[in-house]
A = this chain, B = another copy of it.
């Protein structure tokens, strides 16, 4: 299993990790199978979406913040229930098929680490099989 470090700079941020994941896959001796990208945190997540126009992740984060605002009638005392919610909904992992030993992603797809309670130093685990 490969480990990747990601450093977020603001509270909500989508960080493109496609290249790092591609490199981890290139190092693995697997031709056909899967790559699992797993986030071992409870206030961050991982997703796949368009990485061409930065307005796409910008709109995504803004709308999520409006549906799941930081301040609400929450009980959890750390003030980050919105981050737990977004992490559970976006999800802690993505599974990407491999083709000829490489990530089989669509033309416009990039892999994003989703920070919902930054800034923090985070980890991403990559398993190829």
When distances are taken between beta carbons in the complex, the residues of chain B under 8 Å from A84 are: 49-50, 56, 59-60
A106→B41 contact, CB < 8 A: yes
Q: How far is the CA of A105 from the CA of B89 in the complex (A)?
A: 18
Q: How far is the CA of A31 from the CA of B86 in the complex (A)?
A: 31
Q: How far is the CA of A100 from the CA of B39 in the complex (A)?
A: 18
Min Cβ gap A93→B in Å is: 5
Copy number in this complex? Answer: 3
Q: How far is the CA of A96 from the CA of B107 in the complex (A)?
A: 25
Min Cβ gap A24→B in Å is: 12
A88→B60 contact, CB < 8 A: yes
How many A residues face the partner with a CB closer than 8 A?
Answer: 58
When distances are taken between beta carbons in the complex, the residues of chain B under 8 Å from A125 are: 97, 104
Taking A34-B34, A42-B106 as given, write out 14 further A-B residue pairs in contact, using a Cβ cutoff of 8 Å, ordered by the A residue number.
A33-B129, A36-B95, A42-B50, A48-B88, A49-B84, A53-B78, A55-B81, A58-B75, A63-B74, A67-B67, A88-B90, A89-B90, A93-B95, A106-B123
